[in-house]
Amino acid sequence: MLPETAPATLPAAGSRLATEASPTLGDQRIPVLTLGAGLALMGLGIGFLGLRMRRR
């Protein structure tokens, strides 16, 4: 027969994280400049790919 095992418990780090208050969505704001720069870089990348495909 197989020996009985104790039920699995949460690790110490997991129980500690569960008790801490998680930040709300309002606290995690991203600056508008970061979003604009990301959109501009994405547009440049898509434009570059479009020009490369058009030349072939």
pLDDT of residue 30: 75
Report the length, in residues, of the chain: 56
Give yes or no for residue 55 having a pLDDT over 60: yes
Smallest Cα–Cα separation from 46: which of 28, 38, 36?
A: 38
Q: pLDDT digits over 16-51, tens only?
A: 555 566 667 667 777 788 889 999 999 999 999 999
27 DSSP 8-state letter: G
For the chain, report the end-to-end CA distance as a whole number of angstroms.
70
pTM (2 decimals)?
Answer: 0.45
Specify whether the backbone of 36 is left (phi greater than 0), alpha (psi in -120 to 50) or beta: alpha
Average pLDDT of the segment spanning 49-54? 94
pLDDT of residue 33: 85
